């Protein structure tokens, strides 16, 4: 089944969908292997792992698209991709959406920040006028139609920090009418705001759970009770892997050997299994022995 159709089927169920963030093909393969139904490609993680920079708009469209393509081609489950602001105006957004669809994205998130954007939990964000963002969502929906795709469009607003919760709610309602399937108000500061949003927006909502961010971390049960459809943990894997690299390299520097931390490392055989070594070698032999 087409991955965008698979994602829509997940959204049609009564289940709350729990989605981890991944930042490259390897982390995507791990997420699939441990049993997640869908993953989110994080632009924050791409900036960090590709360029070693913060999420402040330094990754180009072509760099992001290549990362999205590599991830989508590495796994069989749907990928919701970070499309930032669409990388320009409505015409740029049309190109972004079409290229993401062709790269294999099942869904994407479009946000209403001024470019260059910032991570949604950083200070100093600015947002574009609501009419301009509405045009971008319309352009995205038009691109989806032209590509004959079932792409899921997530309309995100960062306006809560700039204009307050009421305006953020007004914005996402407009984005829904323009063609967004899922609505995402970034960085509410307290549970009361989450409850206000869910009460006033009777459409599928995404909750972003970022360790150390502005939004309180709550349980899956609580999020479902409040009324969120997608629960996203975008940076857990990135922060976990970063700490693991710090710890292992610090040990290596200090002790000049990895003896003593073997239980903290994946084995050679298990890693080869993760990246499908045996299957690819079998395929190589099959192709080499063809008559």
Q: What is the pLDDT of residue 269?
A: 97
Q: What is the pLDDT of residues 61-85, one digit of tens each?
A: 999 999 999 999 999 999 999 999 9
What is the pTM assigned to this prediction?
0.96
What would the DSSP string read from start to end of the chain?
--HHHHHHHHHHSSSPEEEEEE-SHHHHHHHHHHT-S-EEE-HHHHIIIIIS--SSS-S-HHHHHHHHHHHHHH-SS-EEEE-TT-SSSHHHHHHHHHHHHHHT-SEEEEE-BPSSP--TTSS---B--HHHHHHHHHHHHHHHHHTT---EEEEEE-THHHH-HHHHHHHHHHHHHHT-SEEEE----SHHHHHHHHHH--S-BEEE--TTSSSPP--HHHHHHHT-SEEEE-SHHHHHHHHHHHHHHHHHHHHSS-TT-GGGS--HHHHHHHTTHHHHHHHHHHHHT--
Q: What is the pLDDT of residues 205-249, one digit of tens each?
A: 999 999 999 999 999 999 999 999 999 999 999 999 999 999 999
Domain count, the chain: 2
Q: What is the pLDDT of residues 88-102, one digit of tens each?
A: 999 999 999 999 999
Residue 167 shares a structural domain with residue 24? yes
Residue 81 shares a structural domain with residue 201? yes
Q: Looking at 199, 219, 237, which one is the last position of a domain?
A: 237
Residue 172 shares a structural domain with residue 265? no
Q: What is the pLDDT of residues 110-127, one digit of tens each?
A: 999 999 999 999 999 999
Residue 99 shares a structural domain with residue 224? yes
What percentage of the chain carries pLDDT values higher than 90? 97
Residue 291: pLDDT over 60: no
What percentage of the chain carries pLDDT values higher than 70? 99
Residue 27: pLDDT over 60: yes
Residue 168: pLDDT over 90: yes
Residue 112 shares a structural domain with residue 249? no
Residue 114 shares a structural domain with residue 168? yes
CATH number for the domain spanning 129: value is 3.20.20.60
Residue 227 shares a structural domain with residue 249? no
Confidence tier at 289 by pLDDT (50, 70, 90): confident
Residue 252 shares a structural domain with residue 233? no
In angstroms, the CA 240 to CA 252 distance is 18
| Residue 174, Cβ density class (10 Å: 0-12 exposed, 13-18 middle, ≥19 buried) | middle
Domain that holds residue 268: 243-288
């Amino acid at each position: 089944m087409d991955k965008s159709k698979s994602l829509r089927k997940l959204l049609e169920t009564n289940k709350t969908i729990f989605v981890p963030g991944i930042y490259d093909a390897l982390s995507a393969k791990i997420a699939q292997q441990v049993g997640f139904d869908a993953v989110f490609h994080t632009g924050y993680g791409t900036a960090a792992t590709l360029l070693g920079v913060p999420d402040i708009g330094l990754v180009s469209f072509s760099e992001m698209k290549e990362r999205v393509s590599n991830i989508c081609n590495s796994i069989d489950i749907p990928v919701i991709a970070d499309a930032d602001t669409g990388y320009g105006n409505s015409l740029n957004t049309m190109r972004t959406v079409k290229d993401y669809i062709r790269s294999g994205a099942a869904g994407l998130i479009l946000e209403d920040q001024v470019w260059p954007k910032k991570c949604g939990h950083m200070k100093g964000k600015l947002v574009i006028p609501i009419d301009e963002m509405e045009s971008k969502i319309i352009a995205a929906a038009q691109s989806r139609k032209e590509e004959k795709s079932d792409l899921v469009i997530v309309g995100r607003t960062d306006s809560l920090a700039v204009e307050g919760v009421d305006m953020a709610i007004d914005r996402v309602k407009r984005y829904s009418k323009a063609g967004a399937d899922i609505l995402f108000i970034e960085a509410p500061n307290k549970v009361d705001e989450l409850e206000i949003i869910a009460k006033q927006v009777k459409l599928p909502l995404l909750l972003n759970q970022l360790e150390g961010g502005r939004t309180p971390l709550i349980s899956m049960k609580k999020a479902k009770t409040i009324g969120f459809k997608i629960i996203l943990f975008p940076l857990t894997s990135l922060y976990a892997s970063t700490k693991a690299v710090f710890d292992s390299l610090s040990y290596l520097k200090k002790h000049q050997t990895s003896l003593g931390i073997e239980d903290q490392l994946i084995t050679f055989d298990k890693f080869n299994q993760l990246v499908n070594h045996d299957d690819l070698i079998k395929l190589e032999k099959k192709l080499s022995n063809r008559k």
